[in-house]
Amino acid sequence: MNIKDKSGTTVVRREAAGEPVLTWRDRLVGKPLPTTEVSHQTIGKAIGLAVFASDALSSTAYATQEMLVILAVAGTAAFRFSIPISFGIVTLLAILTLSYEQTIYAYPSGGGAYIVSRDNLGEMPALIAAAALLMDYILTVSVSVSSGVAQITSAFPKIFPFRIEIAVFLVMLIMLLNLRGVKESGVAFSIPSYFFVVLMFTTVIVGFTRYFTGSLGVVVAPPELEMLHAAQPITFFLILRAFSNGTSAVTGVEAISNGVMAFNEPRSRNAGITLIWMASILGVLLLGITFLAFQIQAVPSEAETLISQLARTVYGGRGWLYLAEIVATTVILVLAANTAFAGFPRLSAIVAEDGYLPRQMTLRGNRLVYSYGITSLALIASFLIVIFQASVTNLIPLYAIGVFLSFTLSQAGMAHRWWKSGRLKPGEELKERGSVIKQDSRWRVKMFINGLGAITTAVVMLVFGITKFVDGAWIVILLTPVLVALFYIIHVHYKNVADRLTLENFAAAPRIRRHRVILALGGVHRGSLAALRYARTLSDDITAVHVAVDPEEAERIQKKWEQWGEGIRLVMLESPYRQFVEPLLLYIGEIEAQRQPDEVITIVVPQFIPGKKINNILHARTADTLRKSLLNTQDIVITEVPYQVG
Amino acid sequence: MNIKDKSGTTVVRREAAGEPVLTWRDRLVGKPLPTTEVSHQTIGKAIGLAVFASDALSSTAYATQEMLVILAVAGTAAFRFSIPISFGIVTLLAILTLSYEQTIYAYPSGGGAYIVSRDNLGEMPALIAAAALLMDYILTVSVSVSSGVAQITSAFPKIFPFRIEIAVFLVMLIMLLNLRGVKESGVAFSIPSYFFVVLMFTTVIVGFTRYFTGSLGVVVAPPELEMLHAAQPITFFLILRAFSNGTSAVTGVEAISNGVMAFNEPRSRNAGITLIWMASILGVLLLGITFLAFQIQAVPSEAETLISQLARTVYGGRGWLYLAEIVATTVILVLAANTAFAGFPRLSAIVAEDGYLPRQMTLRGNRLVYSYGITSLALIASFLIVIFQASVTNLIPLYAIGVFLSFTLSQAGMAHRWWKSGRLKPGEELKERGSVIKQDSRWRVKMFINGLGAITTAVVMLVFGITKFVDGAWIVILLTPVLVALFYIIHVHYKNVADRLTLENFAAAPRIRRHRVILALGGVHRGSLAALRYARTLSDDITAVHVAVDPEEAERIQKKWEQWGEGIRLVMLESPYRQFVEPLLLYIGEIEAQRQPDEVITIVVPQFIPGKKINNILHARTADTLRKSLLNTQDIVITEVPYQVG
């Protein structure tokens, strides 16, 4: 024990406390880490790509398939529309990339949609963005893990009936790893990420080679197309619905802009180049997979994923390369879920810091991670997996709308920022809501780019909301305002509490001059004498009170008290209805009514503590009931004097 | 408010408290009743029969059917053995009746198996009897309600799929009625009881008339016999198994001996005559039903009860008399379950009074009934109904073994009592374990009768245990010692506590001379100043302690404390692992190590109380955690000073 004096205050520092006692929980998630170990490591472009790209790149595992699911309603002939739709999505991707390049340079310390909206649009848009992002992170976990499990069950159809259990198990595993604290050291992440990129490119290149040499052929024994009833006509609405499903490919593009501070200096430049790399790989893979899927006449199915069909057709069967492709796809999908486990807790900690979520979410757990956020995310995502049967097709209608809502708000915020920057004189700076806006001569171009991004994503969001409304988008549309309302309610509560606790203009209450003690007696025994002994240190004004449920018992207590009560007056409360607490509360109420302003009343309750907690069920815990009933009464203090037995 | 003085003690009696405030629970179970309303009404023979016979008489609704279920294994030809088996059961009934006649005269204040065993055999046999009886009450509820529902679904086959739900609903309904307090006024009970007796006799008499006139015929469209695979040979073991199932008919015979004190004077004589009446009715009905069931070739089935087949054959279809018979049978079965709701809580209250069950079971609830016992019984019986699918056939193997175990112990206790009575001189009395044994000249005959009862029931119990072992009797055989062990564990706990609390040879501890106060500070605000204000009334030796999880926050607190802390010393506890409670516990441990014998330590914790309870989830409830961790430490008292907000 080390005691230091610092301006009159004693500071206690314990060297011995460096190795805290391990509980079973510590054994599961690892021993506690000291606060000083928060890491400030930065990474280069190659590793940055691996760390931040998994969310975006993994979308290629399901985006094409989900387009085809919609087109299949109009028969297999409609599948040819998947190619122009993919070009549309790649165009969208290009616009988004340009937009986010600017965010990366404007927010070198990380510009997520919540922060950008808060700085440039205000409280309400920021909260909408937060709600959208939190839902987005949850769905990223549900969709990615469900798709990952679908890859596994494609290779091993026998375990298809257990897909929900496997998916929930995977979420729990990722949760546990994150509670231990995954060091985003990058190296561990870059191996599976690059493994996936290399294998996916190999598949696409081999596929194209075989296509041009005419040896590609079609899927052998394709899975049955589940909804091949009377084909509906191909309408514009149907194409828009397919496009909406396909936009799930661009989810995750924003990840790099959130994590700019993780890059080596020059941060913005490195992050910006990485974003362009990521977008290029994503675009090429999406186009390649969609084109090849069409050529091999792949069919969307819950039983076998499109990636599985593609891989076994390109590689001519379920060989080692096929298996490697399945493993790589599964792993990148799990990594994508893992990134949400970094994003969700971090965002909820920021929102909680601003007072819109429970304060506990800002606490770092034993392992320096935001344990509450991690656990909440895992539970809600697992709940969704169970409800939606671990089916990507069922989950997709909920997914992209939140992402595009946050895109729109973030880009609109940036556009507004450039507009304000245009109002400034050269060299002038504007400080607003904690962020600094500098004059920028190219503000018109920049505002146009972000404005284009905002309008495009807003249109996509509307298209998505309308075309997928009945399929599940309504849930998100309904939940967003509910969440925002909840944020406000929490905020108002914290504000009220702060107002009631503040010491500004506070006149200290007068010193307490009278202390009245009521000793609640259940019986006369060593426990109650211990309580009496304590009560005597508080005041000389002590009244012992017994609730006489059983008249014979009451008489015994009275006699014993005459012998042991040290002359303290005893009041018997009759209880015709055999209640313990109510007569006591009535009596205390009467005493309370006579209380003076400088007087305080303490209720002393002997609290009998059995050696084993389980034994509590053998005793009526009157003290607990009394405590709960009286906590809400001003200037009445309850003191339990514990008496340990056994 | 009325204050009375009585030998120095103030007694507070409230007239206004006569009408307590009603809660939602009160609205459900009725308004609280004052203790003075405990009823002491007594009843005559006719009503006594109705009140106590429902358990025994209702057994006729399933006993014959459960014999046939076993015999069916050997094909329908084996059904003829049901008649000799029934005669065997009636013989058993006669022996039991004789035996219990003696108990009724020896225990005019009620001689249940627990009390008779406790008085005459000692602690261990009494506890075994208690375990057997408690399980018996539970199974009476499960079996009777299941059989009652089977009668209803026989008449209305469409609701067969909902039989479990209906059975659980009925149990909950009976529970609610008993929580309200069913007045065993008898009149309300006698109507359905006599309704059943009259209808059952009508059915049997009409059946015999039609049998002798040759117009009875057989069951039209009987239900399918479910287990008509390759018939097994008729073995002695099979007949014993059928006999075991049939013994369920005599369960409930002991009810009158428990309730002798409810009868008008001369109590024992009235109760004794009622027992003979009941046994006669039961014997006649059992023989009649079994004979007729054989004649009409009734078939045991889950889909239609034997009573339903008998009634529609005797009355030539599903007319009004058929429906009346079904309703009467269902109602008497529900009444039988209801008697268990009187017996179980009463027995558990007696056992708890003796210290072998949690003391709370002795408490009468708002409505003067033993609420804990009633609720426990309903929950366990419902659990069994769900587990055993509301099937009487599934439940029967668990049922009679406990009953016969309690019969054996009770009769053995009586036999032992007569033996001791034979050792006395004329006019001499023996006081033992609270009961008085008088010399009796006819002790040899009486010992023989009770001894015969004990041996017969012991043999039946063994037969039952062996023949039904694999079907479920093993559960009861296993649970009985487990329950007895539990009784002992509870008893030892209460004894230990009493030893630790007793004031015999107790030397009062020295008066406390030093009071050290530790004020746990989460922040400096009105709540903590209220706590400081309170702490000052306790002692001048106050130390404020803050756990510095966040160094910046700690610095702010330190500055604020300099302004508001009234010069009280502040100790900062560093917390490298961001824990709140552990550093405080370590610090308190160090203080505690220096504590003198005449010193007490109080930890004052400002407890912030939000206006609405739900808001507690928005705050880290450190005070609660601290309280739970410190309750087990001798001479450390925790005082929460509540500060109400909103």
What CATH number is given to the structural domain containing B478?
Answer: 1.20.1740.10
Please give the residue of chain B at the shortest CA–CA distance from A32: B577
Same domain? B240 vs B340: yes
Entry field: residues in chain B: 646
The residue with tokens 């059989």 is B147
Number of H helices, E strands in chain B: 21, 9
Same domain? A235 vs A373: yes
Taking CA atoms, A156 is separated from A168, A190, A196, A326, B197, in Å, by 18, 27, 20, 11, 66
pLDDT (average), residues A347-365:
85
Taking CA atoms, B184 is separated from A350, B344, B530, in Å, by 65, 15, 56
Contact B636 A642 (CB under 8 A): yes
Question: From the list A36, A574, A618, which residue is nearest B13 (CB)?
Answer: A574
- pLDDT-derived band at A25 (thresholds 50, 70, 90) equals low
**How far is B192 from B404, CA to CA, in rounded Å?**
28
Same domain? A473 vs A604: no
CA distance B25 to chain A (A): 15
Could you read off the pLDDT of A264-273 as tens digits, one per residue?
A: 888 889 889 9
Could you read off the pLDDT of A195-253 as tens digits, one per residue?
A: 999 999 999 999 999 999 988 888 888 887 765 556 788 888 889 889 988 998 888 88
Could you read off the pLDDT of A467-502 as tens digits, one per residue?
A: 888 888 888 889 999 999 999 998 988 888 888 888
Amino acid at B164: I
**Which CATH number do you get for residue B589?**
3.40.50.620
pLDDT at A382 over 80: yes
Residue among B12, B541, B630 with most chain A CBs within 10 A, to mutate: B12
Whether B593 has its CB under 8 Å from any CB of chain A: the answer is: no
The residue with tokens 């006692």 is A21
Same domain? B129 vs B183: yes
pLDDT at A18 over 50: no
Question: From the list A9, A511, A525, which residue is nearest B533 (CB)?
Answer: A511
Residues of B within 8 A of A18 (CB-CB) are 576
Same domain? A432 vs A336: yes
**How far is A539 from A604, CA to CA, in rounded Å?**
11
Could you read off the pLDDT of B468-497 as tens digits, one per residue?
A: 888 888 888 899 999 999 999 989 888 888
pLDDT at A167 over 90: yes
User: Tell me, what's the pLDDT at B482?
Assistant: 92
CA distance A30 to chain B (A): 13
E strand or H helix that includes residue A603 = strand A599-610
Question: Could you tell me if residue B27 is inside a domain?
Answer: no
Could you read off the pLDDT of B211-238 as tens digits, one per residue?
A: 999 888 888 878 877 655 567 888 888 8
Question: Within chain B, which residues score under 70 in pLDDT?
Answer: 1-9, 13-32, 34-41, 181-186, 226-230, 366-368, 432-434, 613, 618, 620-621, 646
Same domain? B218 vs B105: yes
User: Tell me, what's the pLDDT at A227?
Assistant: 59
User: Tell me, what's the pLDDT at B18?
Assistant: 47
Range of the domain at A129: 39-487
Could you read off the pLDDT of A419-466 as tens digits, one per residue?
A: 888 888 777 777 766 677 777 778 888 889 889 888 988 988 898 888
Q: CB B16: neighbour CB atoms within 10 A?
A: 9
Contact A633 B642 (CB under 8 A): yes
**Are A363 and B620 in contact, with CB atoms under 8 Å apart?**
yes
Same domain? B148 vs B225: yes
Q: Look up residue A298 and give its two tokens.
A: 């792949």
Amino acid at B635: D
> Could you say which residues from 493 to 552 on chain B have a Cβ atom under 8 Å away from some Cβ of chain A?
493-494, 496-497, 500-503, 506, 508-509, 511-512, 515, 523-527, 529-530, 533-534, 536-539, 548
Residues of A within 8 A of B356 (CB-CB) are none
Which of B213, B361, B613, B245 lies closest to A618 in space, CA to CA?
B361
> Could you say which residues from 17 to 76 on chain B have a Cβ atom under 8 Å away from some Cβ of chain A?
17-18, 20, 32-36
Residues of B within 8 A of A17 (CB-CB) are 576-577, 582-583, 586
Question: Could you tell me if residue A496 is inside a domain?
Answer: no
Residue among A6, A12, A572, A613 with most chain B CBs within 10 A, to mutate: A12
Contact A640 B637 (CB under 8 A): yes
pLDDT at A125 over 60: yes
Could you read off the pLDDT of A207-219 as tens digits, one per residue?
A: 999 999 988 888 8
Whether A615 has its CB under 8 Å from any CB of chain B: the answer is: yes
Same domain? A224 vs A125: yes
Contact B569 A10 (CB under 8 A): yes
Contact B640 A644 (CB under 8 A): no
Whether A354 has its CB under 8 Å from any CB of chain B: the answer is: no
Same domain? B525 vs B393: no
**Are A2 and A14 in contact, with CB atoms under 8 Å apart?**
yes
Same domain? B531 vs B476: no
Helix orientation angle between A187-212 and A320-353, rounded to the nearest 10 degrees: 130
Determine what percent of chain A is predicted with pLDDT higher than 70: 90
pLDDT at A15 over 60: no
Taking CA atoms, A628 is separated from A632, B22, B265, B449, B627, in Å, by 8, 19, 50, 59, 14
Q: How many CB pairs under 8 A join A and B?
A: 255
**How far is B365 from A433, CA to CA, in rounded Å?**
61
> Could you say which residues from 573 to 592 on chain B have a Cβ atom under 8 Å away from some Cβ of chain A?
573-574, 576-579, 582-583, 586-587, 590
Could you read off the pLDDT of A85-103 as tens digits, one per residue?
A: 999 999 999 999 999 998 8
Higher pLDDT, A386 or B505: A386
Same domain? A427 vs A569: no
Question: From the list A493, A500, A644, which residue is nearest B632 (CB)?
Answer: A644
Contact A583 B644 (CB under 8 A): no
Please give the residue of chain B at the shortest CA–CA distance from A576: B34
Whether A373 has its CB under 8 Å from any CB of chain B: the answer is: no
Give the pairing of strands B569-574 and B541-548: parallel
Contact A577 B20 (CB under 8 A): yes
Contact A366 B577 (CB under 8 A): yes
**Are B412 and B129 in contact, with CB atoms under 8 Å apart?**
no
Phi first, then psi, for residue B545 (nearest 5°) are: -130, 130
Please give the residue of chain A at the shortest CA–CA distance from B545: A10
Domain count, chain B: 2
CA distance A463 to chain B (A): 38
- pLDDT-derived band at A1 (thresholds 50, 70, 90) equals very low
Q: ∠A116-A118-A121 over CA atoms, to 5°?
A: 90
Question: From the list A13, A33, A638, which residue is nearest B574 (CB)?
Answer: A13
Q: What is the 3-state secondary structure (H, E, C) of A477-515?
A: HHHHHHHHHHHHHHHHHHHHHHHHHCCCCCCCCCCCCEE
- Which ranges of A156-235 would DSSP assign to H, the alpha helix? 163-180, 187-212
Question: Could you tell me if residue A234 is inside a domain?
Answer: yes
Q: Look up residue B583 and give its two tokens.
A: 């550093």
Whether B598 has its CB under 8 Å from any CB of chain A: the answer is: no
Contact A363 B578 (CB under 8 A): yes
Helix, strand, coil percentages for chain B (3-state, nearest 5): 65, 10, 25
Question: From the list A33, A36, A506, which residue is nearest B526 (CB)?
Answer: A506
Question: From the list B10, B496, B570, which residue is nearest A569 (CB)?
Answer: B10
Contact B558 A497 (CB under 8 A): no
Same domain? A135 vs A47: yes
Question: Could you tell me if residue A19 is inside a domain?
Answer: no
Question: Could you tell me if residue B501 is inside a domain?
Answer: no
Which of A127, A81, A198 lies closest to A357 in space, CA to CA?
A127
Residues of A within 8 A of B571 (CB-CB) are 9-12
Query: Dihedral of the CA atoms B65, B68, B70, B76 (nearest 10)?
Result: -150
Question: Could you tell me if residue A26 is inside a domain?
Answer: no
**Are B294 and B68 in contact, with CB atoms under 8 Å apart?**
no
> Could you say which residues from 286 to 345 on chain B have a Cβ atom under 8 Å away from some Cβ of chain A?
none
CA distance A571 to chain B (A): 5
User: What is the b/e burial string over B505-529, where b = at least 16 CB atoms within 10 angstroms of the residue's CB?
Assistant: eeeeeeebeebbbbbbbbebbbbbb
Question: Could you tell me if residue B26 is inside a domain?
Answer: no
> Among the three residues B487, B504, B527, which one is the final residue of a domain in this structure?
B487
pLDDT (average), residues A510-526:
86
Task: Output the pTM of the full model.
Answer: 0.71
Question: Could you tell me if residue B500 is inside a domain?
Answer: no
CA distance A194 to chain B (A): 36
Give chain A's mean pLDDT. Answer: 84
What is the three-class DSSP state of B643? Answer: strand
